[in-house]
Amino acid sequence: MAETVLFLANTEADGTLGRIALEALAVAKSLGGTLIAGLIGGAVQPAADSIASSGASRILAVAGEAFAESRYATDAAAAEALAKAVQATIVVAPHISRFARCMAGVAQRLGGRIDTHVTSVVTGPQITRWYYRQRMEAVLKRTQRPWIILVESGIVPAWEGPAGTATVEMIAVEAATRSRVIGRQSPQTGQQTIRPDAKLLFVAGAGWTRKQADGKPHIDDAARLILGFLRGSEASLGSSKSLVDLSGEGQAVLPFLSHMNQVGQTGSTPRHPKGLATCCHGEEPHVVGWRFIRERRAVNLDPNCGWTRGKADVVYVADAFAVMERVNAMLAERSAARRAEA
Ligand SMILES: Cc1cc2nc3c(=O)[nH]c(=O)nc-3n(C[C@H](O)[C@H](O)[C@H](O)COP(=O)(O)OP(=O)(O)OC[C@H]3O[C@@H](n4cnc5c(N)ncnc54)[C@H](O)[C@@H]3O)c2cc1C
């Protein structure tokens, strides 16, 4: 059966499409059938122009101030209207919190089905996704239509192509909602440490807060070294469960960490190209937390740390305080040299 594939994405504040949306476009395109783009956002023309050469036969949008913010009622109404307008049989959208929140409801309204956290889509179409915290992989296909597929980030290269001038078909949707967005509250105050687009995931373990060779913990040094490295490398910060749990036990903690940073079985499984684990022993961060990281290294004092040895490509048996002090100094030298060149 020839599918009508709706690529669905929200636009950023400046009206463009983010990398994860362009990855979902690449997935939608790979399915064959008739490709149609559906955009939701405050402004949509820059996004439409950027995908003018994508092969989408039509570009539709639900746009306006009410659709700029992520909100269940408006996002669900917009997605439903777009899917109905083109009679989509398959809807491909990025698995971001915005769509994860509303698309199950949209599937219900359309009488369709939804699969989330999808890690590959191949012609057929068939999808793969993981169960039981990334320990079992399933291959699924469905006969029910429409079929909504939310694809994880980092599973395919983002679609690239020349921009053009696109004609956008605007779909009018009534923004009926009682919810008003009055601001944003983030669990991380001050420091932005979770960066899904970063090339490197830096995993901090509880070793950073343990007594060191002199018999004392060095929390301030740990905080300075970790934040200094994040600043210098623009890495994203992941953490073991033990480290983020410490705050609940009244122990000295790294104030910029929360459970949002936790990787592993009960945390997240990010998809950065590279990972560096430091002062970290646990099975879950090494086996589950960074299983999708392609190149993995670790720094640990313990040469017998089985999880580090078993799951990292390279293990540096060394004091992470000393290693990161040196790495930060090298990063500072590099950025000074770049500034001098500029
Ligand atoms: C049901 C369940 C679910 C769980 N889910 C998760 C999860 O999602 N994520 C998770 O992380 N954990 C999870 N855990 C906990 C997990 O089993 C481990 O207890 C935890 O990951 C250990 O954290 P850690 O490696 O940071 O600390 P530790 O085990 O205390 O290891 C600290 C490490 O730091 C090293 N170290 C100390 N000082 C230095 C130094 N100066 N330089 C270099 N290395 C140094 C030590 O050698 C040691 O290896 C779960 C447990 C259960 C039971």
What is the Cα–Cα distance from 208 to 174, expressed in whole angstroms?
52
- pLDDT mean values, one per 10 residues, the chain (342 residues): 94 95 97 96 98 98 95 97 98 96 98 96 91 84 97 92 97 91 67 85 96 94 96 94 80 83 90 94 89 93 90 95 98 92 84
Cβ neighbours of residue 163 closer than 8 Å, sequence gap 6 or more: 49, 50, 52, 53
Model pLDDT, residue 27: 97
Which pLDDT does position 250 carry in this prediction? 65
Of the candidates 21, 64, 19, 73, the residue with the CA atom closest to the CA atom of residue 45: 64
Q: Is the CB of 171 under 6 A from ligand 1?
A: no
pLDDT at 99: 97
What atom in ligand 1 is closest to the CA of residue 302? Answer: 47
Rounded CA gap, 116 and 27, in Å?
Answer: 14
State residue 189's pLDDT score. Answer: 46
How far apart CA 85 and CA 27 sit, in angstroms, is: 21
Residue 146: CB atoms within 10 A of its CB come to 22
Q: What is the pLDDT of residue 253?
A: 80
CA of 305 to the centre of ligand 1 (A): 10
Asked whether 126 lines ligand 1 (CB < 6 A), one says no
- The C-alpha atoms of residue 128 and residue 169 are separated, in whole angstroms, by 33
Judged by DSSP in three states, 293 sits in coil
Query: Is 280 a pocket residue for ligand 1 (Cβ < 6 Å)?
Result: yes
**Ligand 1 pocket, residue 281 CB under 6 Å:** yes
What are the structural domains, with CATH classification, of the chain? 4-170 (3.40.50.620), 200-341 (3.40.50.1220)
Using DSSP's 3-state secondary structure scheme, residue 228 falls into helix
Task: Assign 57 to helix, strand or coil.
Answer: coil
Could you give the CA distance from residue 145 to residue 208 in angstroms, rounded to a whole number?
51
What span, in angstroms and rounded, lies between the C-alpha atoms of 58 and 141? Answer: 26
Q: Residue 50 is inside which H or E element, if any?
A: helix 45-50
Q: What is the pLDDT of residue 248?
A: 67
pLDDT at residue 131, rounded to an integer: 85
Q: Find out whether the peptide bond into 187 is cis, omega within 30 degrees of 0.
A: no
State whether the beta carbon of 267 lies less than 6 angstroms from ligand 1.
yes
Which helix or strand (DSSP H or E) is residue 197 part of? Answer: none
For residue 54, the model assigns a pLDDT of 98
Q: What is the pLDDT of residue 123?
A: 81
What kind and span of H or E run contains 131? strand 126-131
Of ligand 1's listed atoms, the one at least distance from the Cα of 266 is: 8
Q: Find the 280 Cα to ligand 1 centroid distance in Å.
A: 5
Among 239, 301, 327, name the best residue to mutate to test ligand 1's pocket (greatest count of ligand atoms within 8 A of Cβ).
Answer: 301
Element (H, E) at 105: helix 97-110
| pTM (whole model) above 0.95 | no
In short, whether 207's Cβ falls inside 6 Å of ligand 1 is yes
What does DSSP assign to residue 262?
B
Indicate if ligand 1 lies below 6 Å from the C-beta of 210. yes
Whether 240 lines ligand 1, by a CB cut-off of 6 Å, is yes
